[in-house]
Chain A
């Protein structure tokens, strides 16, 4: 039953994309598909935390941003001048930072019975921040002054960008470890608020530490795992290929250019689809393993699980890290696809809550549901503007085009997507709270 539901849903989704391809353009259809695929991975990550373990993570934005940062740190070639100007200072500060952290951890462990332990740690942190600033300040200034229009940062390692996906996942998992250590014992609503706030800190660090990420100046022209349009347009085999496909009329320069764009998108689609399928396979395996069943047992009855001697916080930390790693992975994929890293674009509504809508709408606790949610919600998110425009035109047909009210409505078309998301979420929560593809009830 469930499987048929999933199949039909995805078939319908495919048809919708087909319609977009025919009515709008194939370029649009494939870019929607690509972002649907990335969104699906993001929502799978959240679903692992929320659907399978009942952990409420409102810090999705932070993990996506960390993943995005990874693309910069891995794929961009290093800026040699910056390294020679301020690299030493940055390394020193890094060592100093690690020392501070170790000192805190040491005190925490060694003097665990000491009454003023936390005061001591707090004092250390408060007092060392200015020192850290003093050490790093001059170097940061030097780095940021080197060719600020294009660089002004340390750059990355110059490795292929695909690596950054994994590094993004690893960085996210490391971050999740820290956050999880702090927050996982908290009540669900506190966990929600604190993860939201922490993700705010992460994004503001990425936004403002220009030596690291160029901050609000953005990093553009990131590498690609797929060919570039210009190369395709000049290569013999591609032109031949297009001529074969486009057999019914002569191939013009225009057709070649637009086809090259679509071809690049298809390449991305293939890569993303393969990634999604691998993750889905792994996730399904994990969920149906004894470990997955245990996680759901913990989610459904924490007290009982505790009574059975399960170390709940440790298990929750594991799953929090796994979920966050997937989110970070998807964050790196997104930046790779966009080809640019814009820290200021990370906003909770788009990068945290929208992903949550995907999970809740698709069906929390079901991998297929989360993927479907990613597809449906992204599709609506993109297509809501044309749909809203269409509806506005129908409902205001009696008004002239110069009518202020009509013009105002048409200008606000981009915001109807928020309305649709909100109403959609409310309706699903009310009438189908288990989501489009509900969790399969597993018999023990």
Chain B
């Protein structure tokens, strides 16, 4: 019984949140890694692209709600998602045409691309704040819980109640579906394979007659879709605040590098590595241990590895370790 209680406690506060957060990071990291693999630069504007996509989804959610449209127990945002994605794709392609294309043709250095992406970061940052403001926005509607603690306790008679929020389930399902489609696309279709080929060996791809413009176009489209989905899922799960989205860029970069930059499957795993370490290392295990130990311990010290304040610091620390020992990422060799 106590063992079950402990397990449920762990699943409530570590396992389920890690999978959810990991999914959100994974989607973002795949987007960053694809851009890196194809366009060959680290896109610092990606966090703000996520914010932009989410903002569009929120605006459409409000519009749909004002028309009285909703999805019942599901959040209306899911219905608004395609519209948000479309707008985000348009914005990405706009910046590619007006900004990145010029430097691509000039064959500028990766550093120039980074600097230019900073410019776009500033612009998107401003656009989002001007349109929707800098404040916290909650746009989750529909039912809140799939399993609520009270019901669970009543049903099972356990001390700990299993809580699963609907946003967590939505995140996990959406991520699985998106990744399934994406990896099928990359592995099974001709276009997807040509993207991988271009990312692996640009010169030979050109010699094989692969059209770089088409590849780049598709990359921006996929990256925008991923940014919008990841941002929306994060916003549904927590809330939308432009500054948080900028900050999320940091663990996303960490996940990307941990997985081996340019490697989509690595980025996927990287997201979960980062999420699990962030959450598992900052969780206070006091109650968990209380259930498992035969005697009651009266320790006032929280049994917590590192304080929650250092959540972000953990992902950075992992990143630094990876950079020093395995700069090619820990999933090198397992390409897609």
Taking the complex as formed, is A158 at the interface, i.e. its CB lies under 8 A from any CB of chain B?
Answer: no
A425 touches B115 (CB 8 A): yes
Question: A194 to B305, alpha carbons, bound, how many Å?
Answer: 23
Contact assessment for A204 and B320 in the assembled complex, using a CB-CB cutoff below 8 Å: no
Asked whether any CB of chain B lies closer than 8 Å to the CB of A274, the reply is no
Q: Which of A94-102, A144-152, A167-175, A183-191 contacts B (4 or more CB under 8 A)?
A: A183-191
- What is the bound-complex CA distance between A377 and B122, given in angstroms? 14
A207/B321 in contact, CB under 8 A: no
A182 within 8 A of B: yes
Size of the A side of the interface (Cβ < 8 Å), in residues, is 49
Q: A194-B323, A416-B126 are in contact. Are A426 and B313 (CB under 8 A)?
A: no
Once the chains bind, are A415 and B118 in contact (CB under 8 Å)? no
A134 to B246, CA, bound (A): 34
| CB-based contact A201/B125 at 8 Å | no
Instruction: Give the shortest distance, in Å, between B54 (CB) and chain A (any CB).
Output: 17
| Complex contacts, A416 vs chain B, CB 8 Å | 126, 130
Which residues of chain B are within 8 angstroms of A348 by Cβ–Cβ distance? 246
- In Å, the complex CA distance between A137 and B325 comes to 32
Partner of B119, one of A122, A188, A412, A426: A426
CB distance from A122 to the nearest CB of B (A): 7
Residues in B neighbouring A426, C-beta threshold 8 A:
99, 116, 119-120, 123
Known: A425-B115, A429-B116. A415 touches B324 (CB 8 A): no
**B: contact size bracket:** 35 or more
Q: Hey, which chain A residues are within 8 Å of B42, CB to CB? A: 189, 192-193
The complex places the Cα of A182 from the Cα of B319 at a distance, in Å, of 12
B129 touches A418 (CB 8 A): yes
Q: Assuming A137-B301, A422-B123, A429-B115, is B310 touching A197 (CB within 8 A)?
A: no
Report how far A357 CA is from B116 CA in the complex, Å: 10
* B323: contacting residue among A186, A349, A360, CB under 8 A: A186
Tell me the nearest residue of chain A to B310, going by C-beta. A204
Contact pattern, B 205-239, Cβ under 8 Å of A = 1, otherwise 0: 00000000000000000000000000000000000
Q: List chain A residues, Cβ under 8 A from B313.
A: 200-201, 204-205
Question: Least Cβ distance of B167 to chain A in Å?
Answer: 26
Q: How far is the CA of A426 from the CA of B98 in the complex (A)?
A: 10
Instruction: Check B154 for interface membership: any CB of A closer than 8 A.
Output: no
**Among A201, A411, A418, contact of B122 (Cβ-Cβ < 8 Å):** A418
- Chain A residues closer than 8 Å to B123, beta-carbon distance: 418-419, 422-423, 426
Question: Within 8 Å CB of A418, what residues of B?
Answer: 122-123, 125-126, 129
Which residue of the partner chain B has the closest CB to A419?
A: B126
Question: Bound state CA distance, A189 and B122, in angstroms?
Answer: 19
Complex Cα distance, B96 from A259, in Å, reads 52
- Say which one of B60-68, B106-114, B289-297 lies at the interface with A: B106-114
Give residues in B with beta carbon < 8 Å to A. 41-42, 99, 102, 109-112, 114-116, 118-127, 129-131, 133-134, 243, 246, 250, 253-254, 257, 301, 305-307, 309-310, 312-313, 315-317, 319-321, 323-325, 327
- Please give 5 more A-B residue pairs, beta carbons under 8 A apart, in addition to A134-B301, A188-B110, A415-B126: A204-B309, A349-B125, A409-B130, A419-B126, A430-B102
A residues at B contact (CB < 8 Å): 56, 118, 122, 129-130, 134, 137, 182-183, 186-190, 192-194, 196-198, 200-201, 204-205, 207-208, 347-349, 353, 356-357, 360, 409, 411-412, 415-419, 421-423, 425-426, 429-430, 433
